[in-house]
């Protein structure tokens, strides 16, 4: 029988696509799957494509999907700020799907993978089991980009296997920000941390709207008496944010050039836990940035100025904070049909 259940509960696909050999070599497929349905789907795929030979420069392309990911990274991804992060995510996906060849990789295979990611069956970390639709949408975008870029570079000559696959619709999550008492409590816990850098990095984020990684990686030459400059940012836009003399004097500026802070994100996470501040998944690193932007608008700030301070390339990103302005949509009070011309 070509598909059978094993003692560990998994299903083994074991068959010869071109029939059992009679005196001459014939390719044998042996592969395990979590469900019988997956095994049947893979067998059907193999049989449907048995006479289809994907040729590349006259030779059958036997590259693994992982090989394409690595080639993409070496020739393009290495130039991206999040290139290594993307590569690591895709290598996890390749391993989770059983290290398929590039030509075995299909939208059906990826669909099964993302279903397991959403259910928590496949997890990259122990801290987060079930991922959000936005996370698997990013993973879909990563692989699409790999095939598109390799095609542009002449390393892939077939269609993008994920071209017709649609991302999930995902609702915009509520942006959580901290009020005065929570800010005070969090900074106290940061100051009590074994890593003193957590306190200073947190204050920089609250004072400038910086991302945690931007503040944590600051070097001495980026901090001046009246400003902090951020380079190599997510939006590839350098920006400079003014600071007060008092704030500058409170920072631990080193005498020698180089990094101002050591890694302290773990200390910040523990400080948040001790502060008993509950945050939605994925908002820990940005909660201080959201807090800055929300208070900036509540205190009467200009949305265009906020866009420049945050370094957003698209005003739509900044508009998420517009409703915090004290006069936001106030015309609705006096221009509604019950009140107008009273």
Write out pLDDT tens, residues 212-269.
Answer: 999 999 999 999 989 999 998 877 788 999 999 999 999 999 989 999 999 999 999 9
331 inside domain = no
Per the prediction, the chain carries an average pLDDT of 88
Is pLDDT of 100 > 50? yes
Q: What's the rounded mean pLDDT across residues 189-203? A: 96
The pLDDT score that the predictor gives to residue 55 is: 44
Cβ-contact 281, 132 below 8 angstroms: yes
- What's the burial of 318, exposed, middle or buried (CB within 10 Å: 0-12/13-18/19+)? buried
The pLDDT score that the predictor gives to residue 21 is: 62
Lowest mean pLDDT among 44-48, 52-56, 183-187: 52-56
The pLDDT score that the predictor gives to residue 137 is: 95
Can you tell me which residue has the tokens 């951020």?
A: 230
The pLDDT score that the predictor gives to residue 128 is: 67
* Catalytic annotation, residues: 211, 234, 286, 289, 312, 321
Of 108, 107, 172, 106, which Cα lies nearest the Cα of 134? 172
Domains of the chain: total: 3
Q: What angle do CA 226, 231, 237 make, to 5 degrees?
A: 105
Q: What's the rounded mean pLDDT across residues 115-126? A: 88
Of 41, 36, 40, 44, which Cα lies nearest the Cα of 9? 36
Q: What angle do CA 163, 168, 170 make, to 5 degrees?
A: 140
Structure tokens at 46: 């193999």
pTM: 0.65
For residues 194 and 254, membership in a common domain is answered with yes
Is pLDDT of 86 > 90? yes
Domain boundary among 52, 72, 88: 52
Cβ-contact 34, 97 below 8 angstroms: no
The pLDDT score that the predictor gives to residue 43 is: 82
Find all residues with CB under 8 Å of 165, minimum gap 6, and list them: 107, 110, 111, 140
Domain boundary among 123, 140, 171: 171
Q: How far apart are CA 138 and CA 128, in angstroms?
A: 16
Q: What's the rounded mean pLDDT across residues 71-83? A: 92
The pLDDT score that the predictor gives to residue 26 is: 65
Lowest mean pLDDT among 105-109, 261-265, 278-282: 278-282
For residues 184 and 317, membership in a common domain is answered with yes
Can you tell me which residue has the tokens 């030459």?
A: 221
pLDDT band at 56 (very low <50, low <70, confident <90, very high): very low
Q: How far apart are CA 140 and CA 93, in angstroms?
A: 10
Range of the domain at 25: 1-52
262 inside domain = yes
Find all residues with CB under 8 Å of 65, minimum gap 6, and list them: 94, 97, 99, 100, 101, 102, 104, 105
Q: What's the rounded mean pLDDT across residues 70-95? A: 93
pLDDT band at 23 (very low <50, low <70, confident <90, very high): low
Domain boundary among 114, 147, 171: 171
For residues 272 and 185, membership in a common domain is answered with yes
Q: What's the rounded mean pLDDT across residues 34-60? A: 70
Q: What's the CATH number where 139 sits?
A: 1.10.150
For residues 214 and 320, membership in a common domain is answered with yes
């Amino acid at each position: 029988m070509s598909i059978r259940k094993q003692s560990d509960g998994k299903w083994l696909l074991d068959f010869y696509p071109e029939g059992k050999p009679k005196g001459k070599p014939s390719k044998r497929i042996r592969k395990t799957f979590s469900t019988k349905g997956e095994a049947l789907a893979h067998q059907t795929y193999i049989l449907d494509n048995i006479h289809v030979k994907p040729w590349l420069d006259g030779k059958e392309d036997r590259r693994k999907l992982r090989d394409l990911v690595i080639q993409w990274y070496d020739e393009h991804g290495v130039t991206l700020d999040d290139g290594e992060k993307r590569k690591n995510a895709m290598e996890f996906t390749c391993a989770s799907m059983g290290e398929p060849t590039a030509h075995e990789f299909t939208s059906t295979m990826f669909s099964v993978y993302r279903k397991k990611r959403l259910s928590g069956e496949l997890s990259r970390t122990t801290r987060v089991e079930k991922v959000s639709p936005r996370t698997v949408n990013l993973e879909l975008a990563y692989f699409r980009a790999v095939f598109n870029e390799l095609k542009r570079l002449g390393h892939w000559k077939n269609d993008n296997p994920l071209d017709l696959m649609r991302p999930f619709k995902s609702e915009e999550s509520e942006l959580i920000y901290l009020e005065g008492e929570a800010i005070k409590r969090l900074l106290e816990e940061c100051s009590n941390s074994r890593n003193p850098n957590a306190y200073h990095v947190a204050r920089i984020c609250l004072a400038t709207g910086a991302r945690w990684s931007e503040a944590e990686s600051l070097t001495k030459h980026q901090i001046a008496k009246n400003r902090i400059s951020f380079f190599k940012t997510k939006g590839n836009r350098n920006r400079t944010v003014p600071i007060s003399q008092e704030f500058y004097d409170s920072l631990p500026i080193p005498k020698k050039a180089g990094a101002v802070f050591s890694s302290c994100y773990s200390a910040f996470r523990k400080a948040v836990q001790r502060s008993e501040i509950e945050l939605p998944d994925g908002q820990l690193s940005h909660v201080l940035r959201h807090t800055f932007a929300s208070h900036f608008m509540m205190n009467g700030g200009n949305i265009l100025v906020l866009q420049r301070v945050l370094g957003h390339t698209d005003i739509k990103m900044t508009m998420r904070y517009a409703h915090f302005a004290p006069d936001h949509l106030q015309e609705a009070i006096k221009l509604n049909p019950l009140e107008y011309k009273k």
